[in-house]
Amino acid sequence: MSASDYMYAGTRSKTLERMLLSENQKELLVSAKSVDEVCTALYDTYLAGFLSSSNEHVFRALSYSVLDAKKTLTTIAPNPRVLDVLWIKYDFHNLKTILKGRSRGLSDEVILGQCYKTGLVKPERLLRLLDEDRLNVVNNHLASAKREAEELSSIIAIDRAMAEGYFHAMYEIAEEVREPFVKRYAVLLIDLYNIKATLRAKHIDGIEIYDVYVKGGSYQKEQLDSEEKILALLSRFGGEKRWSAAIEHLGKTGHYNRIEKLADDYVTEWLREESLDVFTPASLFSFFHGRKNNAQIVQAITTAKQTGMPEGELRAILRALHAT
């Protein structure tokens, strides 16, 4: 496929990305006094077309907006198979959700309500294939991840099994489509996963680097066997200063969310820079990440308004998690 094939799709994606929430629009949402005011502010954004007349359906509108992004990108992409790198992530997330839900005795209805609808396989079908032991019908890596997860007891180990299955599936797609950008994207995600997972492991008793490390990235296990080495590697992902406060927070509280968000933010920034070249799929990936991030921000704000969270506390959370 020639580079020029992506020119229209890249230009269209950049146009759509400019319609995402502006900083002023985010500020209006944060300063809203109620869910009603949040919805009023949303009617002046691209999300207006997904909202119903009932404010209780804000979360449904956010889900529709992400599904709409998937549909749009699939339509305009010269080779939609490239985008499967994005969608297959949700299949592994949903498989993990189903396995964990079953282990907790949750009903299928509750479990399916916690699944994303953005994957390649509908959650209902994924659950049915799991019960029939036929996950290999849709993806051999899903079947392998399921078998490995069933042999493990540690949540961390199960997470690694799912991550490894996802990365193998993603890299397989990258090899198939022969897009250099997609391979770089895959390696970036594996590198960040290994850095995040090993940092987390060092703060959990009984978990070793070998329990969380996955192959396929730029680094060997030996390069991640101390916090000093990890910090040195992080200089390649925005610098040590960017991560130091989040790592300190992890050490003090055991909470991992700030590191997760910093990694996600880095990917978003990397995609934005890569998307300057409209002759690659980068602009399509960048737009989807932006739409997904907007949904996460609006969901956090709406939930805060529903629970009566003080605005100052909400702003602190968004600063830590969403850089708003």
Residues 73 and 288: beta-carbon distance below 8 Å: yes
pLDDT single digits (tens) 203-232: 776 677 777 888 889 999 889 888 788 888
What pLDDT, on a 0 to 100 scale, did the predictor assign at position 133? Answer: 94
What pLDDT, on a 0 to 100 scale, did the predictor assign at position 185? Answer: 95
What pLDDT, on a 0 to 100 scale, did the predictor assign at position 324? Answer: 38
Average pLDDT (142-160) is 84
What pLDDT, on a 0 to 100 scale, did the predictor assign at position 260? Answer: 84
What pLDDT, on a 0 to 100 scale, did the predictor assign at position 323? Answer: 44
Residues found in the chain: 324
Determine what percent of the chain falls in helix, strand and coil, rounding each to the nearest 5. Answer: 75, 0, 25
pLDDT single digits (tens) 281-319: 999 999 999 999 999 899 989 999 999 998 888 888 777
CA–CA gap between residue 257 and residue 250 (Å, rounded): 8
What pLDDT, on a 0 to 100 scale, did the predictor assign at position 114? Answer: 93
